[in-house]
Amino acid sequence: MARIVFTQQLRRFTEVPQVDAPAATLRAALEAAFALNPRLRGYVLDDQAHLRANVVAFIDGRRCHDRVRLDDPLRPDSEVHVMQALSGG
């Protein structure tokens, strides 16, 4: 099960579940989290379901490659961290 962890900065605004999901891609992992808290979607993704410009996702310590399709593959034991990028501060 891949694990997805959201920055605690988001807790000011909405619930941020830590999710273990059988997700094969970054988007599938995000969708598993959004299923638990639908409001979280708008904080992480924009109108076009792209990763927000000032949000960054790390997969096993590596920044994700694609911010539009979000199709970076996950391993069964991958750990995804969704963070706020310092660029937006």
Partner 1 sequence: MQDRAWVATRKGLFELRRRGASWAIARSSFLGEPVSMLLPPQDGSARLFAALNLGHFGVKLHGSDDAGETWQELAVPTYPPQPEGDPVGGVAWKLVQIWSMAAAGGVLWAGTLPGGLFRSADGGGSWQLVESLWNQPGRARWFGGGYDVPGIHSICVHPQRSDELLVGISCGGAWVSRDGGASWSLSAHGMRAAYMPPDQSGDPNIQDPHLIARCRAAPDVLWCQHHNGIFRSTDNATSWHEITSAPDTSFGFAVAAHPNDPQTAWFAPAIADERRIPVNGALAVHRTRDGGRSFESLRAGLPQHDCYDLVYRHGLAVADDGCTLLMGSTTGNLWASADAGESWSQVAANLPPIAALRFG
Question: How many Å separate Cα 52 from the centre of its chain?
Answer: 10
Q: Which of residues 34-63 bind partner 1 (CB under 8 A)?
A: 39, 42-44, 46-48, 50, 52, 54-55
Whose CA is closest to 76, among 56, 60, 65, 62? 60
Instruction: Record the tokens describing residue 47, joined without a space.
Output: 């109108």
What is the full DSSP assignment across 1-22? -EEEEE-GGGGGTS----EEE-
Asked if residue 9 binds partner 1 (CB under 8 A), the reply is yes
22, 38, 73, 88: which one binds partner 1 (CB under 8 A): 88
Asked if residue 69 binds partner 1 (CB under 8 A), the reply is no
Interface with partner 1 by CB under 8 A: which residues?
9-10, 13-14, 39, 42-44, 46-48, 50, 52, 54-55, 84-85, 88-89
